[in-house]
Amino acid sequence: MEKLPEDDFGKLFRQHHAGLCNLAYNIVGDTDAAKDIVQEVFVKLWNNRGQLTFGEQIKHYLFKATAHTSYNHLRANKRIAPLEEYAGLNTLETVVGTEGVEYKELEVRARQAVDRLPPKCKTIYILSRHEGLKHQEIADTLGLSIKTVENQMGIALEKLRSDLKPFLNLEIVAILAAIGMGLYALLIS
Amino acid sequence: MTLDNQHWERISAYLSGDLSQDERNAFESWLQDSDSNRLLFQEARLVWESSRIKLRVKNPATEEELLKLRARIKSQQPAGRIIPLFRNSALLKIAASLTLVTVAAYFYWTLRDTETVIASGDQVLTLYLPDSSRVWLNTNSTLSYTEDFTKENRTVTLKGEAYFQVKRDTAHTFEVVTPATTAVVLGTSFNVNDADSATIVTVAEGKVRFAERDAAREKDVVLTPREQATFHHRKKTMDRSRSRDMKFAAWRRYKNAQYEKEVKNSGLYLATQYTWRKNQINQSVIEGTIRNSASLAVYKDIVLYVTYSQPGGPQKTSRLVIGETVNPGQTIDYRRRLLDIFTETNVLHVKVESAEVETGDHY
């Protein structure tokens, strides 16, 4: 067990704060709540500093604690989700504007659809899709069985598909049109 | 569980890379079974690939959050630890426990709880209480609260002067105790000045119930915004008057290092979020919000620095001035047009370049 002086604690906070805020924000969809969640995580870390080993694992610990706390927050506050949906889209458009990155309409719609998923589904899907966690790791992080994770991943994907159905068709029509154009070009040449 | 649902589980596990080699082979042969299986998978893959957008917190304000965290940790620190000194002697053990009981009893009766004391010295302090209420503590003043601050009523003890911006919490009333008076609120902003001969309470927002300490309830006065009550310690009388402006809270700007930082680096405390598009006559229309995250500084005449360019073209710049006044914690909307009708703008950035600090006593 290593001691954790206050200076190192500040350093640790500075190093991970923004990243953890982003993780929490993607799950709960509310900036202030995300910051509060990260505060909680660090207060807990400070209180348990006697029992923890500080090294590479601390990053892992912080990630897990933030994901779990965000999940609990989302479950406890489902009713406010519709309000934040709008805010989420706002930020998204900002990202599009500032970064000069072009997101396709389908991607923006997909993000909104992810935000509409039920809490458990949403958290699991984000951890898998965005954070690249394996099913077992998600189960460990959220304290769920692996069976639940597999099942919820299926439900998430199914819901997203049916939610995005109208836009998927457009995409597929576009692909077909491209193929058609190609064939046409072949025919006339 | 339906067969259909199992398909979805397998498709998602395939996409996220959670299938073993054998399972993958089985899945791929399932795909070969029918066109409808393949179409289902194509759609699922399109959904999976399209859901890559990660949102980012615009302004994580890491330094501000670290200050908050440190204040929180400090407020919950226990007084100290008991270290076993006498391991071997039974007699010493008895003696030690007797001493311990005596000392513990002494501390129990005198202190009850660990007390956090904050003394300002010659600088104005800006601090957060454990419930996220914000306090400005004037020079040479002391603020203290006990460990059970958030458990029942939120009680702080004040000597000197402080301005409170109380986080609303109807379940826990917020109470400021001075040697002679108490002021009780739910969630408001107000100033308490405990001088030698009188205690003066002035309200900026909301309502405050102010009374002589331990006096009968009927003697309370309820103050509304811009009202001021003075309790004279010797005469034990209460005067009421009106404050025409926010001058009573102006002391917060002097000898305040945090405020000086906000005056010098306005860009650090102003953040903008925006979207832009071309309108029918090909001007770029920028719509956005500006948020002031400073503790005290009121900004106006905010200069936005816009850079934009068309594909392969040179970078052009433009400055937009937003004349509106933005109070701390406030967010304003703006909408401006660029004169770029001959430019096929495809990249556009906006950042806050500078701002004037409003020096009046409005806030």
Does B204 reside within a domain?
yes
Instruction: State how far the Cα of A45 lies from the Cα of A65, in Å rounded to an integer.
Output: 9
- Residue A58 host element (H or E): helix A57-76
Domain identity same for B233 and B310: no
The dihedral formed by the CA atoms of A21, A24, A27 and A30, expressed in degrees to the nearest 10 = -60
Q: Hey, of B45, B47, B307, which one would you mutate to test binding to chain A, going by the most A CBs within 10 A of its CB?
A: B47
A6-188 homologous superfamily: PhyR, sigma-like (SL) domain (1.20.140.160)
* B75, part of any domain: no
Same domain for B239 and B309? no
| Residue B106 CB contacts under 8 Å (≥ 6 apart), including other chains | none
Chain-chain contact of B62 with A18 (C-beta, under 8 angstroms): yes
Give Dmax over CA atoms of chain B in angstroms: 96
Q: Which of A25, A130, A157, A159 to mutate to test the interface with B (most CBs of B within 10 A)?
A: A157
pLDDT of residue B57: 85
pTM: 0.46
Which residues are B351's β-sheet partners? Answer: B305
Establish if B181 belongs to a structural domain: yes
**Residue finishing a domain among B113, B131, B163:** B113
Contacting residues for A141 by C-beta, under 8 A, at least 6 apart: A63, A64, A67, A68, A127, A133
Among B97, B113, B129, the domain boundary falls at B113
What is the value of ipTM here, to two decimals? 0.81
**Which DSSP helix (H) or strand (E) runs through B109?**
helix B90-110
Q: Is B274 helix (H, G, I), strand (E, B) or coil?
A: strand
CA distance B324 to B282: 27
Cα–Cα dist B55/B286, whole Å: 21
In a domain, B61, yes or no: no
**A113: nearest CA partner in chain B:** B51
B72 domain residue, yes or no: no
Q: Do residue A160 and residue B65 have CB atoms under 8 angstroms apart?
A: no
Structure tokens at B314: 């040179």
Q: Torsion over CA of B321, B322, B325 and B331, rounded to 10 degrees?
A: -140
pLDDT value, residue A54: 67
- Are residues B60 and A154, on separate chains, in Cβ contact within 8 Å? no
**pLDDT tens digits, chain B, 363 residues: what are they?**
445 668 899 999 999 999 999 999 999 999 998 888 888 898 899 999 888 888 888 888 899 999 889 888 887 754 444 444 444 556 666 666 666 666 665 555 544 456 778 888 888 888 888 888 889 999 889 998 887 787 778 899 999 999 999 988 888 889 999 988 999 887 789 999 998 899 999 999 888 989 888 776 667 888 988 899 999 988 888 889 988 888 888 899 888 888 998 998 888 899 898 988 888 888 889 999 999 989 899 999 999 999 998 888 888 889 999 989 999 988 999 999 888 887 788 889 999 998 999 887 666
How confident is the model at residue A5, as a pLDDT?
62
Taking the CA of residue A184 and the nearest CA in chain B, the distance in Å comes to: 24
User: What is the pLDDT at residue B282?
Assistant: 86
Task: Show the domain range for B190.
Answer: 115-253
Pair B291, B331: CB distance under 8 Å: yes
What's the pLDDT score for residue A87?
Answer: 46
Domain-located, residue B335: yes
Q: Does A10 touch chain B (CB under 8 A)?
A: yes
Residue B288: exposure state from Cβ atoms within 10 A (0-12, 13-18, ≥19): buried
Q: Which tokens go with B204?
A: 């900026």
> What is the C-alpha separation between A67 and A70, in angstroms, rounded?
5
Residue B119 belongs to a domain with what CATH number? 2.60.120.1440
Q: Which two tokens stand for residue B62?
A: 């890491």
Taking a contact as any Cβ pair under 8 Å apart, which residues of chain A between 30 and 59 contact chain B? 31, 34-35, 38-39, 42-43, 46-47
Spatial CB neighbours of A113, under 8 Å, sequence gap ≥ 6: A159, A160, A163, A164, B51
Quickly list H helices, A77-145: 81-99, 105-116, 119-129, 135-142
Q: Count of residues for chain B?
A: 363
- Count how many domains chain B has: 4
| Half-sphere exposure for A20 (CA within 13 Å, toward CB) | 31
> How many angstroms separate the CA atoms of B265 and B172, rounded?
37
Q: Which residue has the tokens 């506050």?
A: A77
Q: Residue B66: which of A13, A92, A150 has the nearest Cβ?
A: A13
The DSSP element (H or E) to which B332 belongs, if any, is strand B331-337
Give every CB contact of residue B80 below 8 A, 6+ residues apart in sequence: none
Task: Say if residues A3 and A51 touch (Cβ distance below 8 Å).
Answer: no
Q: Which of B253, B283, B310 is the last residue of a domain?
A: B253
Residue B66 included in any domain: no
Nearest to A151 among B9, B73, B288 (CB): B9
- Residue B120 to chain A, least CA–CA distance (Å): 22
**B273: chain A residues, CB-CB within 8 Å:** 90-91, 94
What is the sign of the dihedral through the CA atoms of A19, A24, A26 and A31?
Answer: negative
**The pair of three-digit structure tokens given for residue B10, joined into one six-digit string:** 């397998």
SS3 A4: coil
User: What SS3 state is found at A162?
Assistant: helix
Mark whether B162 and B279 lie in a shared domain.
no
Look at residue A41 in the predicted model and tell me its pLDDT: 94
Closest-CA residue of A relative to B13 is A150
User: Are B142 and B237 in the same domain?
Assistant: yes
Percentage with pLDDT > 90 across chain B: 29
Cα–Cα dist B357/B352, whole Å: 14
Task: Please indicate, yes or no, whether residues B124 and B244 belong to a single structural domain of this protein.
Answer: yes
* Residues B236, B124 share a domain: yes
Enclosing H/E stretch for B175: strand B174-177
User: Tell me: the pLDDT tens digits for B334-356?
Assistant: 999 888 887 788 889 999 998 99
- Shared-domain flag, residues B119 and B248: yes
Give the closest-approach CA distance of A187 to chain B in angstroms: 27
Per-residue pLDDT of chain A (189 residues; tens, 9 = 90+): 345 566 678 888 999 999 999 999 999 988 889 999 999 999 988 888 777 776 778 888 899 999 999 999 988 876 544 434 444 454 454 444 444 445 677 888 888 889 889 999 999 999 999 999 999 999 999 999 999 999 999 999 999 999 888 887 766 666 666 776 777 777 666
Amino acid A162 reads S
Residue B73 is assigned to a structural domain of this protein: no
Position A105 scores a pLDDT of 76
Of A35, A125, A157, Cβ closest to residue B11: A157
Task: Report whether B246 contacts B358 (CB < 8 A).
Answer: no
Does the distance separating the beta carbons of A22 and B54 come in below 8 Å? yes
- Considering the domain architecture, whether residues B319 and B229 belong to the same structural domain is answered as no
A42 contacts on B by Cβ (under 8 Å): 69
